[in-house]
Structure 1
Amino acid sequence: MDEVLELAKEGMEEAIDRLRKSLTKVRTGRANPAMLDGVRVDNYGSMMPLNQVSTVSVADARLLVVKPWDRNMVGPIEKAINAQNLGLNPQSDGTVIRLAI
């Protein structure tokens, strides 16, 4: 009986963790860097999280700014954001990517 309760408890904790992660991606009209947590970028042959190849910041209430550490990563980052189907349209000037919410 204790085994069943322990398995149920673990399953419920996993479900709560997944819900928390999903809720951080909800678009509320306000820019939140956590919206891009699931974005993985092709970095010279290996897939890496966006926050490991760039800095994501909030410029104002409705604008996220992604500044890659390497200028050559602008294109792959744009492709990765588009591939996530977040409903965001990345616009870049060659050094910085802007995402209007």
Structure 2
Amino acid sequence: MINDIQKNADSKMQRSLEVLKENLAKVRTGRAHTGLLDQVDVEYYGSPVPVSQVANVTLIDARTIGVKPFESNMTNAIEKAIRDSNLGLNPAAMGDLIRVPMPMLTEERRKDLIKVVRSEAEEGRVAIRNVRRDANNDFKRLLKDKEISEDDARRGEEQIQKLTDKYIGEADKMLAAKEEDLLAI
């Protein structure tokens, strides 16, 4: 029973870290990465679909994404969708290849992005702490129902706290790496 609570808390904390990693990846640095276009939808025969479903998205170099539509008549629609996506990108079609250069980040924009990254990390830490709270409540409920002893409840809470410290430490490392990435010129 105690092990079940710990395993459940561990898996939920791991999931919180994965969500944090996904959210941090969406924050654009000066480098190009194909995941940047994941949230861009293109109008394809009347329905919006992600760019990756209508084109091959690759990296041309460290600062340029290449988008090659599967159908040549989709080039203009993809180019327009990227331009209108509020990502600050300006794609340029060259034949059937769309080149998406990554603009340099200004110092002011970097500071804004660091604020965004810090708030994402704090949301991740709060999610991990919420998992800890829920697990501790489960231990208290089991203790109240006399299904476990006080010593078992205390040991379980200590294990949950160790897990919490471990995952918050990992979240802090991810934040530090992203901040360093943003500040790199």
Alignment TM-score, normalising by the size of structure 2: 0.45
Amino acid across the alignment from 1:50 = V
Amino acid across the alignment from 1:44 = Y
Are 1:44 and 2:12 counterparts?
A: no
Q: CA deviation at 1:15?
A: 6.4
Change (3 A) 1:14 1:40: farther
Tell me the alpha carbon deviations over residues 46-68 of structure 1, each in whole angstroms, 9 at most, x when there is no partner. Answer: 11111000000001101100000
Q: Which residue of structure 2 lines up, in the alignment, with residue 89 of structure 1?
A: 90
Are 1:79 and 2:80 counterparts?
A: yes
> Given that residues 53 and 69 in structure 1 are in contact (C-alpha distance below 8 angstroms), is that contact kept between their aligned partners in structure 2?
yes
What are the equivalent positions in structure 2 for 1:1-101 lying under 5 Å apart?
A: 18-101=19-102
Q: CA deviation at 1:25?
A: 1.9
Q: Tell me how large the CA RMSD over aligned residues is.
A: 2.1
Amino acid across the alignment from 1:38 = Q
Please say which structure displays the higher CA radius of gyration: 2
Tell me the alpha carbon deviations over residues 17-43 of structure 1, each in whole angstroms, 9 at most, x when there is no partner. Answer: 553333112222111000000011101
Q: CA deviation at 1:12?
A: 7.8
Higher relative helix content:
2
Query: Which runs of 5 or more structure 2 residues have no equivalent in the other structure?
Result: 1-8, 103-185
Query: Which runs of 5 or more structure 1 residues have no equivalent in the other structure?
Result: 1-8
Where do 4+ consecutive residues of structure 1 move more than 6 Å? Answer: 11-15
Higher relative strand content:
1
> Which whole-Å CA distance do the structure 2 matches of 1:15 and 1:89 have between them?
33
Alignment TM-score, normalising by the size of structure 1: 0.79
The structure showing larger relative contact order (alpha-carbon pairs under 8 Å, at least 6 residues apart) is: 2
> Which whole-Å CA distance do the structure 2 matches of 1:44 and 1:17 have between them?
34
Q: Helix, strand or coil: the match of 2:86?
A: coil
Aligned residue pairs, count? 94
